[in-house]
Structure formats: structure tokens, C-alpha cells
Chains A and B, each alone.
Chain A
């Protein structure tokens, strides 16, 4: 598409074509190309070849999971009831999607209108991340069709997971509402946008409350297993805070990562407003992320001090913990700080990739690697890995499809 645009192709950015007639919905979905051109573009893209390969292997196995049960795709372990589906799909995806409430807060609540060009990308990253976290959950649940049981059929309100379920569900609808403006512009429903504008502050505050609680609740889930998670990744009074604060830098860093990827691979879809502001905004996000990182680093140290876990630092687990902290927290913190000082957006982007890696490592360490540290290590079944890759590929496909169409990276030109 980038090359098509350099040859003079103009993607849809308003209701009207050049000749003054309006685009039909079908034409908008086809990106303003003729069906023949559209499919030719899809076939040319080598990334799509990779996706087809993933689906060719992944889809049969995904279907097989629902025919033969979880035992066919996982090691059906009684000692490790949670594997990659939740370890990656829930515990990593959700904090990396904290950008939704972060951007809502920055722009709508603190009135930092200068972040507007990247706000919708932050919201979309949040919405899709959560949606696919639920998809991963659906793959993992023994009886996915009972997903609404904790909501309406049999309620266990004292459980932390009850909180996660309710808050993720309500927050999802909150995020859908926050993205209605982009959808309404694209589809041509101006009234919906106007309505959301009138309640946006309420939505944003609701977003902060729900995010604080469910990001924290994901950490609090592990406080049910005090003896099973290694003490360096476990802290009963602070676990929820550790998860919440790390979600802050994770959400901001993930936003830098996806904005970088759009700049590289979807430049044709970005307008001048977005591209020209991106470096400045990246540094703004970097500033926020570095503040969250230093906070996280300090409260992690407090956590170790509070439980007096210093001795564990000298063990093998301690070395692994130090690796996570140095590569995933301290180095990104240093790079972010240097980037902000020297106005070096590239360095901030590098730091963002590291911070995202660090967050993922932390969640996998807590949920899988240091879990049952006194028993044994379990490697996920290869089919489980294939399914995770397949679902994650779908996340990327949907992400890309929305970015290509709706006014996320560009500003919709309203009718005068």
C-alpha cells in the first residue's frame, strides 16, 4: 500500500470522492480500491503469506481444541492449571492494553489536547487488547459457553476473579463507547459521536476506576497462591500495586511500539498531523513511562524489603529476577530518560520495545515460570503454542484492518 500511495493512490479520508459523489460502505471497506486491485494488494503482501501459513497450521488445531478438549492441546496438568493461554493471553495482553485508559486520562481528563493525534490509537490498542484477552480466555475456559455464568447465573462476588470478569466486561463496553466517534465518522453517523462527546468525562473516570481495579486484581489473583509463586514475584500486600503500576508503563510503552510499527508499515494510512507529531508525542509518552518505571522499580524494592526477601537475590531465581529487572525495567528507564533529555525519539522507541519485553517477562515469570518453583518446571505443549500464535495473529489482522479503514491514524475530513 505504501508503494501504491507513492504512485498517486489516495485512500479514503472523507465521505466524498474526488468527483463529489459519496463512497459506499463497500467501497470504504475495500479502502477505495476496486475489488480486483484490493485482492491484488492483499496477495502481494509477504506478511499475508506468513499469516496464511499460520492459519493453515493453527486453525485445524484451534478447532481440534474444541472437539478433543483442553487435554489435547495442553499438558493437562493438575499442578499447572494455567498455561500460555492465560499466561500470555490474559496476564500479558491486559497490561499492554492499558494505553486506552492512559490516553483517555491524558487527553480528556487532564486536558492535554496535544496528545490528540495518538489518542485514538491508544484507545484502539486498549479495546483490541482486551477483546483478544477475552478470546484467549474463551480458548482456555473449560466451558466457554458459560462465560456469562459469573455475571448472571451463579455469582461469587467475594472472589477476585469475579472482579476481573465484571470489570473487564464493563470496561470493554466503556472502550467500545470511547471508539464510537471514530466509527461514527467513518460510517457517517454524526449523532453517535455527539452523544459520546457529552459523556466522555464520565466514561474516562469509569475507565480509570475499572482499570485500577482489574489491573490490580490480576495481580491479586496470585495472592491466592502464597506458597506457589516464588517470593521474589509474590507479595501479598503489594501484588495488586505491582501489577497496576507496571501496567501504566506497559500501556504507554506498547503505545510507542504500535505507533512505531504503524509508522514503518502503514505509513500510507497516517496523515501529516499524525506523522509530524509522532516524535514529539513519543517523547511525551516516554516521559510518562519513565515516571511509571521509576515508581515501579522503587515499589518492587519495597516489596522485597517488606517481606525481607533479600536472601533470595543470591540464588539462581534471584539472578533470573535481576535479569528481568535490569533488562525490563532499569535499562528502559535509563534509555527513556536519556531519550527525553536529548529529544531522541528513536532511543525512546528502543526503550519501549525493551519495556514491553520486560512486562511480558514479568507476567510470564509470575504466572508460569516461577509458579510451582518448589515442584518442577513445565514447558507448554506445542499445540498450545500454535494456538497462541494463531489467536495473536488474528489480533494483528483485526488491528491492521481497523487501522486501514477507520480514522485512527488520520483525521476524518468532515463535510463543510
Chain B
């Protein structure tokens, strides 16, 4: 039998350790880069902004489907496009309007460009991961829905949403809740039907389907008409991907889209802190009790001397 000397033992140990480390890191590497890409068969909507004429039929359909209050101005009034909220910004989604159409006058473009805004239904929603009462849920169908019976009203979801979507019924004193597009989940999506806005659109701006099919379709359209479309499907990768996808003939950052959001879901920025939490919980007690024992060493020694 070969005698196991210290050198060979160390060698074996190192090799074994390296092997374990390699396996460990490779696993970790996979885990580190893996992000939840959404449910495989989740649905989505592809919005071709070039086709939108700003008729606001989608707004009206949403208002009816979600039983929202009648707005101050009728849905065929184009003057809402000129409305400006604080900071000179175009109007946004509110507790009374889950979707709004914005108008952008782009220099060099023949007609103004219209942009429909609503919840983008992220694959890994920031609202969901930031909520401390689990009020949000991403359904396998792709919708991000909200449970108003558990919401405490902290509004962290509004802080977290990179698209500034959730609105809050501030006017209610007794039961204020978050108001946002739920992709008509209760009334339509659950039964495999497209959201009301999609169905109502007379220009067929929006295509409803499986998200992965929509992505293929979008890229196919872009490759067929590379002169027309910008080579980007907004929502394909933004903050980890969204169920709503957009195509445009104008660079997205020119028409109110944030192109600096990155491809990581928002939760990935928080993960470093979350990973630190169990470490503090485990390490601190031993560390600080140790400090205590050390700082009281003199007293302890003195006591020992007295005893002996």
C-alpha cells in the first residue's frame, strides 16, 4: 500500500478542492447569469407604433372594460395630447386611466408619432419584488395582477417601477389602492382572449399572442423593412423583458422611452444587499459576543487572580 505522505495528501486535497471549486463556480456562474425570463407560454402584445393614428379608441375600450370613471374630456377629443403635467411632461396613466396615448412631434417625420402607454407587464416585475405584502403576482398567462385586499399603501411599488406606471387612488381615505393595467386578466386574458384595447384598435396597431411568437414576428418585420423600423424591439430585454413589446420608426429614446434601463431585472440591483442579510444575522452574534469577551478580559483576569 502506498504510504500517504503529507505532500501527496496536500496535492490530492488541492486537486479535490480545485475540482469542487470548479464545479461550484460553474454552477454559481450559471445561477448568477440566469434570470427568470418569464413563463414559457406567457402572452404578450406587440405594439407597432408606426401604425397608430392617435384615435384613442384603446383608451375608451379600457375605460369601459375596467369600469373606470368618465373622463373630463371625451375620448375623441385630441386636445388631451397637448395637456402637460408638471415638468412639461405629457399626461400619464392615472387612477382613472390605465392606458393613455401620447403624441410626439418628431422633427423630420411627416406625421406625429403616437405612443400608447400602460403597464408593460415585466417578466420579473420590480413592483412584485419590492412589495412586502405580496400584493403582486405574475400569472403564467403573462399579466402582472394586484391584490387590493392586502395592500398597505406603502407605495414602494411606485418607487420601484422603472416605467412610472402604478397610480394610486390618493383621493380615497378609507380604501386607497394601486391602480394599473392588469391586461384585462379577470375578464379576458384568463379565458385566452386579448385585452380590450387590443381588440378595439381599428388600425390593428397591436398584435396579441405568445410573447415568444411576437418576438419572432417583430424581428421578421424589422428584417423585411430594415429602412422603416429601428432595429430594436423595446421590451425584449429591457429590465429582463416585458410582455408588451414595441416597434418604432423613430429611435426609442426620442419618444419617451428610457433606453438606459439595462437588461437586468430591477431585483438584481437589490440582490447584493439581500445576500448580505443572512450573513450579518449569522456572523454578528459571534463577532460581537467575542468583542465583549475580549473587552472584558482585564476584569476576567483580575477575578481569576483574586480567586487563586
Chain A interfacial positions (CB closer than 8 Å to B): 66-71, 74, 76-79, 81-82, 105, 109-111, 140-144, 146-147, 149-150, 153-156, 158-165, 201, 204-205, 208-209, 212-213, 216-217, 220-228, 236-237, 239-240, 375-376, 378
Q: How far is the CB of A344 from chain B (nearest CB, A)?
A: 28
CA gap between A82 and B152 in the complex, in Å: 14
CB < 8 Å: which of A66, A78, A154, A160 contacts B273?
A160
Kindly report which residue of chain B lies nearest to residue A158, judged by CB atoms.
Answer: B129
- A150 and B133 contacting across the interface, CB-CB below 8 Å: yes
- A69 and B273 contacting across the interface, CB-CB below 8 Å: no
Q: 1/0 per residue B145-164: CB within 8 Å of A?
A: 00100111111101110101
Q: How far is the CB of A218 from chain B (nearest CB, A)?
A: 11
- A205 and B176 contacting across the interface, CB-CB below 8 Å: no
CA gap between A108 and B89 in the complex, in Å: 55
Chain A residues within 8 Å of B270, by CB:
160, 220, 223-224, 236
Chain A residues within 8 Å of B172, by CB:
69
- A141 and B269 contacting across the interface, CB-CB below 8 Å: no
- A150 and B171 contacting across the interface, CB-CB below 8 Å: no
Kindly report which residue of chain A lies nearest to residue B93, judged by CB atoms.
Answer: A78
Which range holds the interface residue count of chain B?
35 or more
- B133 and A110 contacting across the interface, CB-CB below 8 Å: no
Chain A residues within 8 Å of B77, by CB:
none
- A146 and B164 contacting across the interface, CB-CB below 8 Å: no
B130 touches A (CB below 8 Å)? yes
- B132 and A221 contacting across the interface, CB-CB below 8 Å: no
Number of A-B contacts (CB under 8 A): 180
Chain A residues within 8 Å of B273, by CB:
160, 216-217, 220, 223, 239-240
Stretch of B12-20, B108-116, B280-288 that contacts chain A: B280-288
Query: Which residues 245-287 of B sit at the A interface, judged by CB distance below 8 A?
Result: 258, 260-262, 266, 269-270, 272-274, 276-277, 280-281, 284-285
Q: How far is the CB of A369 from chain B (nearest CB, A)?
A: 15
Q: How far is the CB of A247 from chain B (nearest CB, A)?
A: 14
CA gap between A213 and B275 in the complex, in Å: 12
Kindly report which residue of chain B lies nearest to residue A371, judged by CB atoms.
Answer: B159
- B277 and A237 contacting across the interface, CB-CB below 8 Å: no
Query: Which residues 127-184 of B sit at the A interface, judged by CB distance below 8 A?
Result: 129-135, 147, 150-156, 158-160, 162, 164, 166-168, 170-173, 175-177
Chain B interfacial positions (CB closer than 8 Å to A): 86-89, 92-94, 126, 129-135, 147, 150-156, 158-160, 162, 164, 166-168, 170-173, 175-177, 258, 260-262, 266, 269-270, 272-274, 276-277, 280-281, 284-285, 288-289, 291-292, 295-296, 299
CB < 8 Å: which of A67, A71, A111 contacts B171?
A71
- A111 and B281 contacting across the interface, CB-CB below 8 Å: no
Q: How far is the CB of B177 from chain A (nearest CB, A)?
A: 8
- A69 and B170 contacting across the interface, CB-CB below 8 Å: yes
Q: Secondary structure at chain A's binding surface: helix, strand, loop or mixed?
A: helix
- A147 and B269 contacting across the interface, CB-CB below 8 Å: no
- A78 and B164 contacting across the interface, CB-CB below 8 Å: yes
Chain A residues within 8 Å of B288, by CB:
105, 109, 204-205, 208
- A153 and B258 contacting across the interface, CB-CB below 8 Å: no
- B170 and A156 contacting across the interface, CB-CB below 8 Å: no
- B170 and A150 contacting across the interface, CB-CB below 8 Å: no
- B292 and A159 contacting across the interface, CB-CB below 8 Å: no
Kindly report which residue of chain A lies nearest to residue B156, judged by CB atoms.
Answer: A161
CA gap between A290 and B131 in the complex, in Å: 37
CB < 8 Å: which of B132, B269, B277 contacts A165?
B132
Q: How far is the CB of B275 from chain A (nearest CB, A)?
A: 11
- A212 and B284 contacting across the interface, CB-CB below 8 Å: yes
Chain A residues within 8 Å of B158, by CB:
78, 81
- B284 and A159 contacting across the interface, CB-CB below 8 Å: no
Q: How far is the CB of A144 from chain B (nearest CB, A)?
A: 8
- B176 and A142 contacting across the interface, CB-CB below 8 Å: yes
Known: A143-B151, A160-B270, A224-B266. A240 touches B276 (CB 8 A): yes
